[in-house]
Amino acid sequence: MTRPLHAPDNPTVPDQVLDPTAGQNSARSPVFRRSFKKSLPSAVGGEGVYVWDSEGKRYLDFSGSAAVNFIGHGLPEISIAMAEQAKQLEFVHSSQFTTPIAEKYARELIEFAGENFRGGAVYFTCGGSESVETALKLARQYQVEIGQSKRHQVLSRTQSYHGSTLGALAASGNKRRREIYLPMVREFAHVGIPYCYRCHYDCTDGCRNCGQEYAAELERAIATTNSETAGFIFEPVSGATLGAVVPPPGYLETIAEVCRGHGILLIADEVMTGMGRTGRNFAVDHFSNQGGVAPDILIAAKGLSSGYAPLGAVIATKKVVDGIASGAFVHGFTYNAHPVSLAAGRAVLHYLQRQKLVQAADSGNTQTIAARLQQALSTLLDLKIVGDVRGIGLLRGVELVSDKQSKQPFDPQLNFASRVTAAALKRGVLVYPVQGCVDGVAGDHVLIAPPAVIAAEEIDWAVEQLAEAIQEATRETQ
């Protein structure tokens, strides 16, 4: 089926998606929304790379919502798989039963995660934050069970995001999302994160040196914890907080070696980067130097179900699972391994494998849609206020600066990334705004993470709209 290009009053919008509640956007909504200040369109339908609102306006989902949708919206085979599972068995508690769907899907996911996870096991949750909590506790219990009961600290990086629950927020470095909750969280060391557009070290040798400097920061932090470190959590490619920053050569491999050398579990948070988004099954698969980056624990969510159901997964290696096998994992949520969510996830996995969507997301291959995205977005660098365009595969960041020469960010009060996003929304394009990439407060970027089924002409059109949106926001703030 060919999809028509954007037209705000697109006549192809089916009547049944027009919603009688249209216009009920006031701050008095009974829904406890993220923001009471913002008026939101009401989404009523989706197909492919498009979402429709109740007034018939069509939006090209250029950010996959929040880097969630990888396979496209509205695929009947996913909802059919979910409905069939619900009809047969909607739910059992994971302390009383396993299910055929859980057993089959876990086996397939372990295979998808690769050789490093052979003999391991998957812990299913309902999303990213739950998975991060699970991984933090798993690291702690593993260390206790192997006789390392002093180890309880999980180190992480500044300018990272691992979720909104208190444990995940403690590990996160995202200042804006953490600040008011800081008195409530137990914090461990955060080490620097390579961000070569604004590097603290010398990047003149193709960033080989700076990667090692950042890795040395981890080594020093470990030394100060007095053998109490249980794990280190990191996003292989920075997600929202820095906007698709790819690490310098050799950095992750050295980090992995440092952790191995100190008996520290390496926890790769691939909530945003996993399940093909960067052009590999998982982003760690890009880094194969010096024996590679072989995490002990891998976390997936978002693309795992592509948004069709709430789903997260913690994939643990054989070493970790064997460590826990002496007892039981002291942890659990009621909705662990929910059969309907697993049916969605399994159908998504089959779909992306059949349609070769991981290959489509590989920007290293010039023939792919991901390479087209990279090339199209790079044209934004012609604009006066686009400082950097970065990323890998179908995960891209566009950093906006008030002065390109000095890389001076906009005044945070201007909320520049949100202005660009609003101007893009008006034009029917969804992007994901984030502030704080410079120092946690200043710095504006938008994240681009479209479904892998996007067409070349849709990319070109969306980039054109984004360029106009950036120019409109520039005019507004001058």
Ligand X SMILES: Cc1ncc(COP(=O)(O)O)c(C=O)c1O
Residues that bind ligand X (CB under 6 A): 66, 127-129, 132, 161-164, 235, 239-240, 269, 271-272, 301
Strand-pairing partners, residue 229, are 153
CB of 355 to ligand X, least distance (A): 24
For tokens 């365009």, the residue is 389
What's the CA gap between 356 and 369, in Å, rounded?
Answer: 12
User: From residue 416, how far is each of 214, 400, 431 by CA, in Å?
Assistant: 30, 8, 13
User: 74 or 310, CB closer to ligand X?
Assistant: 310
249: nearest Cα among 190, 192, 194, 191: 194
Q: Which residue type does 197 have? A: Y
The 8-class DSSP code of residue 49 comes to: T
User: 222 or 434, CB closer to ligand X?
Assistant: 434
- Beta-strand relationship, 229-234 and 190-191: unpaired
User: Which residues have a Cβ under 8 Å from the Cβ of 328 and sit 6 or more positions away?
Assistant: none
User: Which residues have a Cβ under 8 Å from the Cβ of 68 and sit 6 or more positions away?
Assistant: 302, 303, 306, 307
User: 72 or 163, CB closer to ligand X?
Assistant: 163
Name the packing angle between helices 339-354 and 76-88 (round to 10°). 150
What's the CA gap between 19 and 15, in Å, rounded?
Answer: 9
User: 35 or 96, CB closer to ligand X?
Assistant: 35
CB of 312 to ligand X, least distance (A): 6
The residue length of the chain stands at 478
CB of 66 to ligand X, least distance (A): 6
CB of 340 to ligand X, least distance (A): 17
User: 336 or 378, CB closer to ligand X?
Assistant: 336
CB of 184 to ligand X, least distance (A): 18
What's the CA gap between 184 and 64, in Å, rounded?
Answer: 32
CB of 478 to ligand X, least distance (A): 33
User: 64 or 339, CB closer to ligand X?
Assistant: 64
First-residue to last-residue Cα distance in the chain: 44
User: From residue 59, how far is each of 33, 76, 284 by CA, in Å?
Assistant: 21, 20, 32
For tokens 């660098």, the residue is 381
* Contact in structure between 64 and 373 (CB atoms under 8 Å): no
User: 431 or 470, CB closer to ligand X?
Assistant: 431
CB of 301 to ligand X, least distance (A): 5
Strand-pairing partners, residue 392, are 395
Q: Is 62 helix (H, G, I), strand (E, B) or coil?
A: coil
User: 56 or 173, CB closer to ligand X?
Assistant: 173
CB of 391 to ligand X, least distance (A): 14
CB of 475 to ligand X, least distance (A): 31
Q: By beta-carbon distance, which residue lies closest to ligand X?
A: 128
User: 168 or 371, CB closer to ligand X?
Assistant: 168
